[in-house]
Structure 1
Amino acid sequence: MSAIEYNKLTDLSGVEQAAMLLVSMGEEGAAKVLAHMNSQSVQSVSQVMARLSNVKQSDAELVLLRLFEDYRGQAGIARASRTYLQRTLDSALGDKLAKSLLDSIYGDEVKTLVQRLEWVEPQLLARQIAPEHPQLQAVLLGLLPPEAASLVLQRLPQDSHDELLVRIAQLGELDREVIEELKELVDRCLAVANERSHTRVTGVSQVAGILNRFDGDRGQLMEMLKLHDDRLAAEVELNMFDFIILGRQNDEVLHALLQEVPQDVLALALKGIENDLKRKLTEALPKRMAQALETQIAALGQVTLSRAEAARSEVMKIARQMMDAGAFELQLYEEQVVE
């Protein structure tokens, strides 16, 4: 509540504020409240109620907001669910006034809920809302940020675009039934997105790790993956940029890469790796540099695994940057060749 609004309320006595509140509640609600008051209080507030005329909704809302701010601090109303308060206030105040008050207390809950879908992949979101009624699709798109809504719209059937845009343009105040349906739809979308995200990321990383350590024909396996799903195979390849793949690069690639890696980072990266891989990397260096590196590795003593892994990640980051710049091509797996 702003200072101006608060000052406006302080011009009214407690009895006047109570009278405005009771008038706003209607006959049935006011009668229930008056039944809990003593005779003197009933008489006092009734006299003021009788003198009231043309109570503005904005003034009534100020009184209600003040009441709830006081009550919330004393009775823990902030922890009550919006659904519970909606039913309670609807009964006492009527739907329109209750909604206005709740929006003041909680903000626009529905819009905030829908905005949680921003991070959901547009293709997945479009697939989830496609079977729904166009009006519900329009409500969801109308509450999403424009950038996210545009990406989702592009993935819905093209012949539905004009109808959805018209429905979005005509949106106004939402009925409660629509809000409840929207909440259920958002919950379903989030549940599917969370499930897909966890399974997909873990699965792709697992496949990449398996292929990196597979002694058989990795190239043939990758070709089979591409036949099933090109996009999935590309994600697997991206996740195969693991330090272990340096063991299958030729000396020319390794020499170019290791020349660009700071020696202290390389020394940390080589701590605790398999002897064959360590030998492969050090043999790609000039003999004097390899000897200096061995001395530096020994001088490090014990290091935490996290430090060693961070150094390996740094090496692979440099490798990826050099490959993207065209310095060399890293071999993720042995591809088939023809004469």
Structure 2
Amino acid sequence: MTKRHITYLACTTVLVGTFTGATPASAAHRTLVVRPGESIQKAVDAAASGDTVLVRAGTYHESVTVRTPGVTLRGVGRHTVLRPPAKTKAAQAGTAAGKAASVTCLAAGNGICVVGGKNRALRDVTVSDLRVTGFAKTGVWSMGTDRLTVARVTADGNGQWGIAQEHSTRGAFRDDTARGNGDAGLFLANSVKAEQGAQDTKGTVVERSLLAGNRIGLTVRRLRNLDVTGNHVTGNCAGVFVVGDENKPRAGALTVADNLVQRNNRYCPKTARLPYLQGSGIVLTGTEKALVTRNTVTGHSGKSPLSGGIVLFKSFVGAPGERNRITGNRLSANSPADLVNQEAGKSGNAFDRNSCRASKPAGLC
């Protein structure tokens, strides 16, 4: 890519200083424009903190890794499309550093990777206004980040997760669409490779997103302190899973509120971790102090152990759910019941002020 291929649009009239990973306060932030046929990775490698890589409409057959703090990777909407390269060589475009990063991300099966250091979080990266589709594992994957924003991203037809994040804090996932992915449309976790207690996300939010036609719409695994609000979750095998286990701190102390969860009735066969899924709205398993409130949960039907409108299910490793509160929800036409509490003993879970017709055991409505 020649100099004319990357356009620098200065926000001020003077560009001062050199770029060594952090833009001086006196320097103008730049917009680096990528057009069809050019390398997104090459532009990302050239970007400094505070810069924007603007990807024009078109289809780009590559995988991209972001390792610089404060960078924005932005398309122009769903017409900016990232797909896997047709040939392995296509993944090797860019600078030497870009080659290694891009190939590593692609080799893992991912479209866009946002990666922090082992002991130092990558801060303030934004990925927005584009579509990532057809990757073997994940459309947008991030690890070791702080204040990552993923906004107005469409992640569809990826082999495992649409959008996923591990070991990160203060993420914001807003107005995204995750459709037709092999496992969760949106997957948030502490770590998938280590047994450890739930991580405090320090206020991660999932807001106003459409999660449709996946195995699970949203999975929140071994996390604390986050909000899931105002999302539309429909047509999955299961809508929302909040998952904990016996490790400490326990998963929970989070809020699931004001979501529309409807007709998640696809059939998905069992896995090593879960029985078959069908007809699950919102499921809490092995959590504590979770608040599930003001959700509309309707039209679920199935005979899986996890079927029902809002389901409290004892963790598969035996960890009970405790002190969860299910309040002010509107439930209808869910089978085997609108509210299902499979927890035994004195769990301290509370069901109050829910609008529903049937519960298991009776008396929760």
**TM-score > 0.5 by shorter chain:** no
- Greater Rg over alpha carbons, structure: 1
Query: Which protein has the bigger helix share?
Result: 1
Query: Which protein has the bigger strand share?
Result: 2
**TM-score normalised by length of structure 2:** 0.24
**TM-score normalised by length of structure 1:** 0.26
